[in-house]
A and B are shown apart, each in its own frame.
Chain A
Amino acid sequence: MKKILEVKGLSKTYIVNKRQNNVLKNVDFYMEEGDLTAIMGPSGSGKSTLLYTVSGMDSLTAGEVIFDGRNISDMSQKELADVRLNEMGFIFQQMYMLKNLTVMDNILLPAMQSKKNTASKKEKIKTGRELMRRMGITEIADNDINEVSGGQLQRACVCRSMINAPKVIFADEPTGALNRSASNEVMDELLKLNRDGTSIMLVTHDAGVAAKCSKVVYIVDGNIKGEYNLGRYETNSSLRDRERTLNNWLMEMGW
């Protein structure tokens, strides 16, 4: 399988009040096309920082991030913005959306902004509707974002992340703000996307969510302490077994 994301010697340091805080220390890992990788670790271990640096949302202090064969650490802000717009999708823990726009407009925004997405406006709207249909939220298309539930909104965020058919979706605790039922719904949608070929990298604290991923990376104090290959999760396979195996491994890691 082709490596879609490769991280070599990645370090990230913050200077706060003249004190150096090394959040990520010489991190190496990779993701192959079609992977569904979960990043786990205790609070403050650097999970989100890792997600944001490898996705070009934040700068790195040292190292390289190779995305689809290109070193994004050398890219200008403009180039990074283009990569994020056209080749990456993002889902956040909170359902961040522009408050003055309807749900549909929020979903369509990246598509309308993208110059690489050469589809006509009509086709983009059609794609938006199709994504919403797949996520089961067509009825909220014209609603204000304050009028819908958290689960619906997070699914809308998934639609938005998909609108430009990205190569990788980065998700920072996408189910963190949802109840179990809504969390399952969102994860099911992400799994569907992954099965359709989209690579996904997500940060989670939930072993149940991580158990659905093909690979789990465990990070402690800015270092990758271990990686665990769970293999592709099929709907007929036993989630409970995967969860138990993962929990055992996590215990070994010090979870």
Chain B
Amino acid sequence: MYLNIIKKDLKRQKTMNVILIIFIILSTMFVASGMNNIITVFTGLDDFIDKADCGDYMFVMRQAEEDYSIQEKVQKLDCVTEVKSEKYIEVPLDNFIIEDADLTEGNSTYILLMSDNDMAINFFDMDNKVITSVNEGEVYVTGSFMKDFDLSDGDSFTIDMKGLRKEFRIVSHAKDAVLGSNITNNKRIIMNDKDFRFFADVPEITEGHLGKISYVKTDDIDTVEKLLSDEQGIEFSADRAMLKLTYFLDIMIAAILFLVSIFFMIIAFVILRFTINFTLSGEIREIGVMKAIGIGNAKIRVLYMVKYFAMAVTGALIGFILSIPFAKMLLDSVSYNMVLENDNKILINVLSAFAVIAVILLFCWRCTGKVKKYSPVDSIRNGQTGERFRKKGILSLKKTRLGTTGFLASNDVLSSPKKFGIITITMAILLVLVMTLANMVNTLRGDTIIQTFGTQKTDVYIDYYSDEEMYKKTGGDVNREKKFAEIEEKLAENGMPGKCTTEALFRYSLAYGDKKISLHVYQGQNTDIEGYDMLEGDVPRNIDEIALTEYVSDYLDAHIGDKITINMNGEDKKFIVTGYFQCMNNLGKNARLNNVIKLDYCDFVGGMGYQIEFDDDPSDKVIAERIDKMKDIFGTKYKYMTAGEFVDECTRSSDTISTVKNLILLIGLMICILIVVLMERSMVEKDKSEIALIKGLGFRNGNIMKWHTLRMMITAVVASILAMIVSIPVTKAFGNSIFGMLGAGKNLRYVIKPAEVFGLYPVIFIIVIAFATVLAAISAAKIKASDTSAVE
């Protein structure tokens, strides 16, 4: 008999049961994939670095043949257990011939060639398998090589260098734990040893272009760092913590997904609780009848528990199956450069599915607890004891100017704040997520944070990916003044007079007391020193002045007014710290020297491209026109960018964040549609008598649809307003913490595009919700006026 009751119930409440199962499926999917992602992301990066076997400290030297002494010195340290190295040849990007590719998209001046015989660390293919060897004529490429040049597996490219030419076929993208992150993005090409020798055995090619990356296993990084800080020729060094930080943008996206997963889990459970409560409240009368004929409370509860258990198991099983591809889809955006694997993913998904079933049964047990509270008569009266004296109506038709449908809709929302509050909060959370990510994307594509990349805001940035002259570090000055003058002259000749500047980077060891740090020091070339933003103190104007980032100041314990020492070409020079600035390059490990001092170019490690500031303060449109003109004047081997494009180029993460944002927008809209359909159908079911009644009173179907659609739209509008209010502080809190970990989290100005953030997204949500409500409210049209007396 009980089985029959369940069967009839499942059939009678088909719509509600189907909706409930859909939500169980979604909940399981979100919980299982969310849990999986959380565990994967939190353990993933350490696992990746462990699997790659990068050691505890790494350093890069260009002249590989000369660094044996350094390697030996490091090896001799007591704290060091192992030092291993891999050679590379740096090949200027303009030696690459890639069909249909724009080399200016390369974001790099050099690509590093490596031999499969000389890999000191593990590289992984897209299936996360370690690459052990590469066939002749084939290569694996790391970083954003394939993305930048729009290449796919199996595509070919040619390296043409000093008369040697060879074509290579790409096997696949390879994951490089050391140089492959979005921030580092030093692209490597792993090739067969014979192919590598083809180039490496030619002195004209290796001259000045050979380098070595060394990996040190140690339990005392400070000792290794101190030793290396006294050595010349080290291009870059990083410990494991810094290596992890270079994945910060990837982790940030993973963190967003983690947050999204948590939100989805919360939403799923809230909706589940609501649905179960709602369906059970619709069954109170049935419960009353059962009680009236003498069925005990426990039996009734078990009856519903069996029903919900069956539904929970069905939904959880489907949700579990769907959670596996869903988790993979969420992680795809971050697993391109990282080995993000969770060996226990199936087990986690299974456990999550069981957790969902348990939670559902717990909800049911709690909800069915009401069975005990009601007497049979109360239940038959549909839970109304008639002794409720709380005023439900908030608005008054006598005073309203909203019209009857507007009044009914507003009054419903105000009278049932809990019911409509759920969808308001859900929508608001989803909108805040989308708005925050949109603000982040716009900021990363805007020019407001440009100073945090070690440069001043100018109209045009010219990236000289193939201008080797800028990178020459031997032979001293490259006569930049002459180069600037040439560029300025050409610009003036073409009717767009402006000032040409650049930022040069030198590697020095800064010392204060017994502390020492080796880092990149910026010096503006032809720039106005007054144009740099400082967090505290003043810009370094005089020949003996320097500004530090807060990270460096903290590390050295050197503060404004203190004198630090820099060893320049064997001579110790003192510089007064004049102020603090923030810079995300090298994760905040930077200093800025005054523009006056003449520095020796043997310490030069790179530059940031030519920057043009036009004299006449042109509009964005004019700048775009001038960029086209400059391409004709200076050639297309340079990459020309506006300030916003330059910021985007520096982080290379806006596209990924934008993809995640769009994914969340899509999933968010789907969740909203489901919630709206669920709520609307449930409410139509529950308010059948009211709908029939007002139809009987002469309301048309259109009026009822309008009434129901309006109340959901009111909810959506309230959610949008809430989201608008909350999104800006959330953006600031989120952005400041993210950028802060990169070295620049103070006084940032976020780009907030009101039309997009406060216009487009809320409008999309409101329209979609209205549309979903209209579709769901069609069921109300099927209710006849004569049902007034037929409904319970």
Contacts and interface: CB of A to CB of B under 8 A. Distances in A.
Contact of A96 (B384, B396, B693, B786): B693
Contacts of A130: none
A106 B389 CA distance: 18
Interface string B569-610: 000000000000000000000000000000000000000000
A82 B785 contact: no
B784 A81 contact: no
Interface in A74-110: 77-78, 81-86, 88, 90, 92-94, 96-102, 104-105, 108-110
A172 B789 contact: yes
A77 B693 contact: no
Contacts of A206: none
B15 interface: no
Interface string B392-403: 110011100001
A14 B404 CA distance: 34
Nearest to B405: A113
A251 B784 CA distance: 35
A81 B404 CA distance: 15
Interface in B400-433: 403-404, 407-408, 411-412, 415-416
Contact of B397 (A93, A112, A144, A146): A112
| Residue of B392, B693, B696 ringed by the most chain A CB atoms within 10 A | B696
A105 B391 CA distance: 13
Contacts of B404: 109, 112-113
Contact of B698 (A48, A81, A142, A147): A81
A77 B701 contact: yes
Contact of A58 (B393, B415, B785): B785
A85 B386 contact: no
A45 B398 CA distance: 42
Contacts, number: 107
A38 B384 CA distance: 33
B241 interface: no
A201 to B, nearest CB: 14
Size band of the A side of the interface? 35 or more
A73 B544 CA distance: 99
B393 A102 contact: yes
Contacts of A94: 789
A144 B392 contact: yes
Contacts of B694: 98, 109
A96 B689 contact: yes
Interface in B757-792: 784-786, 788-789
A93 B699 contact: no
A81 B397 contact: no
A86 B789 contact: no
Interface string A193-227: 00000000000000000000000000000000000
B700 interface: yes
B560 to A, nearest CB: 65
Contact of B391 (A85, A92, A109, A144): A144
Contacts of A242: none
A114 interface: yes
Interface residues of B, number: 37
Contacts of A125: 398
A160 B789 contact: no
B784 A58 contact: yes
B281 interface: no
Contacts of A228: none
A8 B696 CA distance: 23
Interface string A160-173: 10000000000010
Contacts of B99: none
A100 B397 contact: no
Contacts of A142: 396
Given A57-B785, A146-B384, A99 B392 contact: yes
A52 interface: yes
B786 to A, nearest CB: 4
B789 A105 contact: no
Nearest to A142: B396
Nearest to A102: B393
B603 to A, nearest CB: 77
A58 B792 CA distance: 18
A85 B397 CA distance: 17
A90 B696 contact: yes
A179 to B, nearest CB: 15
Given A98-B693, A105-B397, A144-B392, A113 B699 contact: yes
B699 A100 contact: no
B204 interface: no
B388 interface: yes
A105 B393 contact: yes
A146 B392 CA distance: 9
Interface in A146-167: 146-147, 160
Given A96-B788, A100-B415, A105-B393, A57 B696 contact: yes
Interface string B685-717: 000011001111111111100000000000000
Among B389, B689, B700, find the residue whose CB has the most chain A CB atoms closer than 10 A.
Answer: B700
B397 A52 contact: no
A146 B386 contact: yes
B697 A85 contact: yes
Nearest to B784: A58
B693 A84 contact: no
A157 to B, nearest CB: 10
B393 A110 contact: no
Q: Which 10 A-B pairs have the closest CB atoms?
A: A85-B698, A58-B786, A57-B785, A52-B786, A84-B698, A105-B397, A100-B415, A57-B786, A81-B700, A113-B404
15 contacts: A48-B789, A56-B785, A57-B785, A77-B701, A81-B699, A82-B698, A98-B694, A99-B690, A100-B415, A101-B393, A105-B396, A112-B397, A113-B698, A144-B393, A172-B789
